[in-house]
Amino acid sequence: MTPNNEASVTTDEGPQACLVVTRIVAPNKEDDLRRWTDGVGDAARAADGFAAMLRFRQTGGLSHNVFLFQSAADLDRWEGTRRYHQLMEDGDRFSTARRQRLDPGNGIAQLPAESDSPKWKRFMMTYVAVLPIVLVVNVALNALPQPLPALAQAVVSSLILVAAMTWAVLPFVSRRLKPWVVRDERGRARIER
């Protein structure tokens, strides 16, 4: 993996066609993804010219499936089957997809990441997470019988905010909103800013 969220495929001989299917899975749909991936793998293995399938799982609900075929024509035939189209539609019910065809001789797949998403989406995700914490902490600190000095109130509230965001809120919110955050305007997994 390169620092730019790219994966490289290089071969001198062997398979001449490569398809990378990235899926960003909706929360609590990992079992659906596993069953779907098994079905796609079975369908690919049954196709003429199939060479190999590689599966990569990434934290935060990202999955990458790499399909290698002996020729571009073999891959074209598989992608043209009714079974392939049905499987892709089934996968769209619980995940956001991105397909990339590569030249295995020197192909580079771009892998989606939250940093590829528009800043306004990241802002909204963070704001949705921060606002309730700030409100609760301010209400609690203002309800104390003896008010804290402003500096002490700022230190306590910022410690609570940062701790809650780091260990509880952002991981939860990020996992729930990732399919929305990394989806581009066409509904695919975004791979560039």
The residue with greater pLDDT, 75 or 24, is 75
CA distances from 120 to 124, 127, 181 (A): 6, 10, 9
Range picked from 12-16, 76-80, 96-100, 180-184 for highest mean pLDDT: 76-80
Which residues belong to CATH 3.30.70.100 in the chain? 6-111
Q: Give residue 191's pLDDT.
A: 57
Q: State pLDDT tens for residues 134-163.
A: 999 999 998 999 989 999 999 999 999 999
Q: Give residue 10's pLDDT.
A: 47
Contacts of 29 (CB under 8 A, 6+ apart): 94, 95
CATH number of the domain at 6-111, please?
Answer: 3.30.70.100
Q: State pLDDT tens for residues 75-99.
A: 999 999 999 999 999 998 888 888 8
What mean pLDDT is reported for the chain? Answer: 84
